[in-house]
């Protein structure tokens, strides 16, 4: 084995994970709006290797994000309504350990 191969094998590098999506910088967690009623004006989905992230635009409040599977499923339905030119009014609630729209 050459000296060069040994040096490469023993090289130490620093690992820093990349942020999932830079477009989510500055967004807050959607769960901050629990027990509030608000209007969703837009929804975008981002896929990572292990989960889906939703970016939700809330009228008058800005952008929020969530990885909740229950909310993602509901947000996909809401996105279809938004595509029809509608704004969607929801109330975010917590049922046991899950968040959901009512």
Between residues 1 and 95, the one the model is more confident about? 95
Q: pLDDT tens digits for 11-70?
A: 887 765 555 567 788 899 999 999 999 999 999 999 888 889 999 999 999 999 999 999
- Mention every residue, 6+ apart, whose C-beta is less than 8 A from residue 60: 38, 39
**pTM for this prediction:** 0.78
pLDDT score, position 63: 96
Rounded CA separation 57/33 (Å): 12
pLDDT band, very low/low/confident/very high, at 7 (cuts 50, 70, 90): low
Q: Does domain 25-101 have CATH number 2.40.50?
A: yes
Side-chain half-sphere exposure of 2, counting CA atoms within 13 A = 3
pLDDT band, very low/low/confident/very high, at 76 (cuts 50, 70, 90): very high
pLDDT score, position 67: 94
Mean pLDDT of 75-95: 97
Residue 2 scores a pLDDT above 60: no
pLDDT score, position 4: 52
């Amino acid at each position: 084995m050459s000296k060069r191969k040994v040096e490469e094998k023993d090289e130490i590098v620093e690992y820093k994970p990349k942020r999932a999506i830079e477009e989510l910088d500055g967004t807050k967690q959607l769960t901050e709006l629990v027990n509030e009623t608000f209007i969703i004006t837009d929804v975008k989905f981002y896929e990572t290797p292990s989960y889906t992230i939703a970016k939700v635009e809330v009228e008058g409040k800005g952008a929020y994000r969530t990885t909740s599977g229950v909310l993602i499923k509901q947000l996909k339905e809401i996105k279809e309504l938004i595509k029809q030119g509608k704004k969607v009014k929801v109330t975010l609630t917590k049922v046991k350990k899950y968040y959901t729209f009512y």
